[in-house]
Structure 1
Amino acid sequence: MNTRFRDTSEQDRPLAPRARRWPLLLGGGVVLVAAIAVLAGGRIRQALSADSAVSASRLSIATVAVAPLTRDVAGEGRVVAAQSPTLYAQGGGTVTLLVKAGDPVKQGQVLARVDSPELTNRLAQERSQVDALRADLARAEVEARQQGAALQSAYENARIDHQTAQNDLARQTQAFEAGATARMQVERAQDALAKARLALEQAQALRGLKTDSLKLDVQAKQSALSRQQLLAAELERQVAELQVRSPVDGQVGQLFIADRSNVARDAKLLSVIDLSALEVQMQVAESFARELAPGMPGEISGGSGAAQRWQGLVSSVSPEVVNGEVAARLRFAGPQPEQLRQNQRLSVRVLLDRREQVLGVTRGSFVDEGGGSYAYVVRGGVAEKVAVKLGARSLDRVEVLSGLAAGDRVVISGTENFKGADRVLIAD
């Protein structure tokens, strides 16, 4: 039995011969290589002309533009009392404290008492000396009046004697003219008058000199008394200040001694904080401190809410530089916030200058490198070293005076990787 199987010959179709495409692919590859070579030719030439190459990821680049320039100083400040007097002992002795730290006090309130036997005894002695000098002055005044009366009496007697001598001479002269007496009597009367005149002149001069001397004695006693009274008054003031009183309304700050301590003169006792006049103190770098001046506007922010802001004015700038910084204080331009507390931290910003149209660029490390005398400008993927002149500087921008134009792209940080090269390729 013959069995026939059907094949697939009827389903098969002859295929056309495959065209050879490798020449086309080869030609396209040549064209592509040529195009890449043309496009990369400039890049290669740049790479060959550059001194080195640095990855762009290691750099920060900014564009030079005309924009407002605000120069300010910002930092953290702390609330301090504008007045925080420290009270000292006016004499040595035992101190009795009448308040505790944190107690509210009023102006004139007694905060502590100093028991100083030395000052008390000295005051008693000086007062006794005042009484003695006052008695001496009274005695000198009485003696001056007595001697003045005696001198006046002597003068009056001399004047009467002079008048008597004049009258006697007149009578003797009339009698001589009438022939009732001898000429000798007239001459005796003349001598007596001359003697009386001399006695009167001496009495008058002595009265004047003695009166001046007595006045000087009294004035000396008065001066001694006044001087002693001043000494006593000064001791009275010191004794009164042994009761230490608060100079302001405020709060007791720090106690420097314990109660019933024995202290020396001028020892620190306690401090009082005037909470009605608070200021904000900030530390400013020495380079910015030279431009700070009292009266400059500022802004204070912080407190219980981040949105709280207050206008302020620079009240004082310390003349002393400590660790490269200067302490500056701002007072509130308006009403003082009530929620502030001593040593509370706040943000402070002081406006130094603001100009609207300034050619500048974002501030970066290039400002400090080389003294800000050069910058790297990016052109066609290569950073070129260009001489520049910089002007005013703020925290985020720096003014460009020459060397750059608006639209230039400048490497503002990472230039330390260039190592001073004139041209550096920036690799993507």
Structure 2
Amino acid sequence: MNIADTSGQDVVIKKAPRRTRLWGIGALCLALVLVSFWAVPAVQRWAGTSVTVPLDRLRLARVTVDDLVRDVSVQGRVVAAVRPSLFAPAEGTITLDVDAGAVVTENQLLATLDSPELQNQLQQEQASLDRQAVELDRQRIDARQRALENRKNIDLARVALTAAERERRRAEDGYAIEAISQLDYEKTKDDLENARLAHEHAVADAKLDEERLAFELRTLELELDRQRLLVEDLQRQVDSLAIRSPVDGIVGNLLVDQKANVARNQEIMSVVDLEAFEIEAQVPESYADDLGIGMAAEVLVMNRPYTAAVVAVSPEVLDNQVTTRVRFEGDMPPGLRQNQRLTTRILMEERPGVLTLPRGAFLDSGGGRVAYVLNDDGTASRRSILVGARSLAAVEIAEGLAEGENVVISSIDAFEGEDTVRVTD
């Protein structure tokens, strides 16, 4: 019995010429050289790394050129922009006319202070003012009387001078015809000179007396004006005993009891104006040196940003925070409530056209001085970098990176500080 085999399927292959085999072997060697030239460096880099990190555990970002806005975002609290406190203008007994939480209008009477001492002082000073007014009127009458007397003295001196001049002319005529003696003639000359001196002195005395009277009147007028100002100030203080609301709003906490005896300048109550609001925000101390009045801000209300500006920065730091006040510019958002919490963004600096990277955990894990750049061969290389300004979403790269490079922005603790790290898919 014959058993079939596969000999019928065998085909005799002719041997290739020796020259053809040599070309094939050469091509194979050349291919091996080229592959080695490309693969050996990669293999060496892979062999030189001792840390391997999966790609899906990393967060990558590309270095771009963009405008960087340096800002800080904090939670702010809505507070009344106008919240005046009312104080007792004098010592006395207080009578409250409103309760806490009452809605009041501007100039509405809120409380009355009874101060007998202040009212009595006003009455005394008013009496002094009336007395000085009477004294001024009396002085004016005396001044007019003195002016009349001085005028009379001048007129009498002028009449005497006229008579002396006439006697002098008569004596000259008599002396010319030797009707009077030379002694009488000389006497008329002396009388004329006396009359002239008396008239001149009367005029000078009247002028000096007029200046003196004007000075005395001016002194009394100044004293009267001073007393009038004193009375007006006391009257203002007495009027302020009726304590009125400076704004429309609601009464805050009452700090004194009904019919209590209060001291001067003691706080009585506060009035809250609910028509004007500001944002009180606590900013971390690290931003304290960069804050300034007038900086632009944004307040997010119902997912809509409203423009605002920083209007006050506290000079002191409490609990590692700085208190700032932000005021809305333009129309205020509707429906604001006191103590409402709102996200507030303060824009501290704008740097156009700089290299930027999104913020990530690499800033903390690398201290802001180290970053890892992803290479095309599946490795990540360690780079020393210099970080500039920081915003909420991005940071400025001042040195160490170039535009377009892919950088690991997640935590780099897993890289263990190696210069080169394998990144696997």
TM-score w.r.t. length of structure 2: 0.80
Q: Check if 1:242 corresponds to 2:241.
A: yes
Q: Is the 8 A contact 1:86 1:268 kept in 2?
A: yes
**60, 63, 79: which one aligns with 1:62:** 60
Q: Is the 8 A contact 1:388 1:401 kept in 2?
A: yes
Where do residues 65-84 of structure 1 align in structure 2 (5 Å cutoff)?
A: 65-66=63-64, 68=66, 69-84=68-83
Inter-partner Cα distance in structure 2 for 1:155 and 1:418: 117
CA-CA distance at 1:42 after TM superposition: 7.6
**299, 311, 314: which one aligns with 2:309:** 314
Identity among equivalent pairs (%)? 37
- SS state of the match for residue 279, structure 1? strand
Please list the CA deviations of residues 339-390 of structure 1 after superposition, one character each: whole Å capped at 9, or x if unmatched: 2221111222344566786532221344356763332334466654322222
- SS state of the match for residue 147, structure 1? helix
Inter-partner Cα distance in structure 1 for 2:243 and 2:52: 72
Q: Is the 8 A contact 1:360 1:398 kept in 2?
A: yes
Inter-partner Cα distance in structure 2 for 1:59 and 1:320: 45
Inter-partner Cα distance in structure 2 for 1:129 and 1:391: 74
* CA distance 1:182–1:228, shift in 2 (3 Å): same
CA-CA distance at 1:299 after TM superposition: 3.5
**390, 394, 417: which one aligns with 2:391:** 394
Point out where structure 1 has 5 or more consecutive residues left out of the alignment: 1-37
Q: Is the 8 A contact 2:65 2:403 kept in 1?
A: no
Inter-partner Cα distance in structure 1 for 2:64 and 2:292: 26
Inter-partner Cα distance in structure 1 for 2:166 and 2:211: 33
Count of residues in correspondence between the two structures: 384
Task: Tell me what 1:403 maps to.
Answer: 400
* CA distance 1:238–1:175, shift in 2 (3 Å): same
Name the stretch that deviates more: 148-157 or 108-117.
Answer: 148-157
Task: Tell me what 1:326 maps to.
Answer: 322
* CA distance 1:189–1:384, shift in 2 (3 Å): same
**314, 339, 342: which one aligns with 2:338:** 342
* CA distance 1:104–1:79, shift in 2 (3 Å): same
Inter-partner Cα distance in structure 2 for 1:58 and 1:88: 66
Inter-partner Cα distance in structure 2 for 1:192 and 1:407: 122
Task: Tell me what 1:199 maps to.
Answer: 198
- SS state of the match for residue 395, structure 1? coil
Inter-partner Cα distance in structure 1 for 2:292 and 2:363: 22
* CA distance 1:383–1:198, shift in 2 (3 Å): same
* CA distance 1:374–1:425, shift in 2 (3 Å): closer
Q: Is the 8 A contact 1:63 1:407 kept in 2?
A: no
Q: Check if 1:299 corresponds to 2:299.
A: yes
* CA distance 1:416–1:139, shift in 2 (3 Å): farther
* CA distance 1:48–1:122, shift in 2 (3 Å): farther
Please list the CA deviations of residues 188-238 of structure 1 after superposition, one character each: whole Å capped at 9, or x if unmatched: 100111111121122122111122111111111111111111111111111
Inter-partner Cα distance in structure 1 for 2:182 and 2:421: 146
Task: Tell me what 1:364 maps to.
Answer: 360
Q: Is the 8 A contact 1:64 1:404 kept in 2?
A: no
Inter-partner Cα distance in structure 1 for 2:139 and 2:365: 87
Where do residues 213-228 of structure 1 align in structure 2 (5 Å cutoff)?
A: 213-228=212-227
Task: Tell me what 1:375 maps to.
Answer: 371
CA-CA distance at 1:263 after TM superposition: 1.0
CA-CA distance at 1:256 after TM superposition: 1.7
Q: Is the 8 A contact 1:297 1:314 kept in 2?
A: yes
Inter-partner Cα distance in structure 2 for 1:363 and 1:322: 27
Q: Check if 1:103 corresponds to 2:98.
A: no
- SS state of the match for residue 76, structure 2? strand
Q: Is the 8 A contact 2:249 2:274 kept in 1?
A: yes
Inter-partner Cα distance in structure 2 for 1:269 and 1:58: 65
* CA distance 1:328–1:273, shift in 2 (3 Å): same
Inter-partner Cα distance in structure 2 for 1:263 and 1:424: 77
Inter-partner Cα distance in structure 1 for 2:420 and 2:201: 117
Task: Tell me what 2:85 maps to.
Answer: 86
Q: Is the 8 A contact 1:59 1:415 kept in 2?
A: no
Task: Tell me what 1:170 maps to.
Answer: 169
Inter-partner Cα distance in structure 1 for 2:353 and 2:62: 13
Please list the CA deviations of residues 15-64 of structure 1 after superposition, one character each: whole Å capped at 9, or x if unmatched: xxxxxxxxxxxxxxxxxxxxxxx9x99898557745x7476699754223
TM-score w.r.t. length of structure 1: 0.79
- Look up the equivalent residue of 1:65 and give its one-letter code: V
Task: Tell me what 1:283 maps to.
Answer: 282
Q: Is the 8 A contact 1:63 1:406 kept in 2?
A: no
Inter-partner Cα distance in structure 2 for 1:130 and 1:58: 93
Inter-partner Cα distance in structure 2 for 1:148 and 1:399: 90
Q: Is the 8 A contact 2:362 2:371 kept in 1?
A: yes
- SS state of the match for residue 162, structure 1? helix
Inter-partner Cα distance in structure 2 for 1:76 and 1:298: 12
Q: Is the 8 A contact 1:66 1:357 kept in 2?
A: no
Name the stretch that deviates more: 129-138 or 58-67.
Answer: 58-67
Task: Tell me what 1:9 maps to.
Answer: none
Task: Tell me what 1:26 maps to.
Answer: none
Inter-partner Cα distance in structure 2 for 1:368 and 1:242: 62
CA-CA distance at 1:266 after TM superposition: 0.6
Task: Tell me what 1:32 maps to.
Answer: none
Inter-partner Cα distance in structure 2 for 1:186 and 1:59: 141
Inter-partner Cα distance in structure 2 for 1:71 and 1:92: 53
Q: Is the 8 A contact 2:299 2:342 kept in 1?
A: no
CA-CA distance at 1:405 after TM superposition: 2.4
* CA distance 1:66–1:159, shift in 2 (3 Å): same
* CA distance 1:295–1:410, shift in 2 (3 Å): closer
Where do residues 183-198 of structure 1 align in structure 2 (5 Å cutoff)?
A: 183-198=182-197
Where do residues 7-22 of structure 1 align in structure 2 (5 Å cutoff)?
A: none
Point out where structure 2 has 5 or more consecutive residues left out of the alignment: 1-35
Name the stretch that deviates more: 88-97 or 40-49.
Answer: 40-49
